[in-house]
Amino acid sequence: MQPLQSETEPPTSIDVVIPVFNEERRLSSCIKTLSTCLQQNFLDGSWRILVAENGSTDRTGMLADSLTREYPWLKIFHIDRPGRGGALAYAYQRSQADIVAYMDVDLATDLEGLPLLARKVVEGCDIAVGSRLLPASQVTRSLRRELISRAYNFITRRIFRVPFTDAQCGFKALRRAAVVPLLPRIKNTGWFFDTELLLQAYRSGFRIQEVPVRWTEDPDSRVKLASTILQMAWGLVRLKFRRGWKSPSRPPSAIWKPQTASESFTP
């Protein structure tokens, strides 16, 4: 895969955020794999990895601190309260990079899609979103999780009349200057954060584009399906009946650009 930029182009900086909670077993391998990907696809000195450690009760915090001695481009944020959304917002607000991206520590999404996400932002979109539900995507997961995901995204699209297919995929790149001013409007600090961020961005007229991903379900996922489903259902209800909320009647023609087959990854 070709690097995002040539040596003659002005560097675009990118911070990749990894939110972690009790992840002492997987953190080291994640940082190693992600570092290799960034070294191969981005200019030296243009990128960092930000670990947002949020309320862990195991050795995750100590391990994260120790990894900074091995990886000088690694920065650790220790946040007292658990919650993926709160951890992401905290890191976004403290980043100084042009682009902030994030992914889950399990690396369920293949990292070959990361340069494409970043390129979409460099080329002018505000948020590039990985989607497991595009025709070009390749997804391996249980039937139960597949049905839940499709039902949730179908309901989200019907209620809010939005065109994106996968609001909850943990694989996104965002233009930091555009997204940070949105953060005070986002009330959820847990799993619904992704959906709320995209809905607020779409309502504000942001340029959003989805890209296909290769995604494999992690059998050791920390997602508690029952409580997460209830949290997200409540989030949809809260936003729908929030005072002043009005969904756009149609996507602005200059904003939504469907992913083309030529831009898909090559299996």
The pLDDT assigned to 242 comes to 72
The pLDDT assigned to 220 comes to 66
The pLDDT assigned to 238 comes to 85
Mean pLDDT by 10 residues, the chain (267 residues): 48 93 96 97 95 95 97 96 93 97 96 96 95 96 91 92 93 96 93 93 94 89 66 83 60 45 39
The pLDDT assigned to 229 comes to 77
The pLDDT assigned to 267 comes to 29
The pLDDT assigned to 231 comes to 77
The pLDDT assigned to 240 comes to 82
Q: Supply the CATH classification number for the domain 14-242.
A: 3.90.550.10
* Annotated catalytic residue, options 15, 104, 126, 194: 194
The pLDDT assigned to 226 comes to 67
Q: Which of 171, 190, 104, 101 is nearest to 133 (CA)?
A: 171
The pLDDT assigned to 248 comes to 57
Q: Could you tell me the pTM of the whole model?
A: 0.87
Active site residue 194: yes
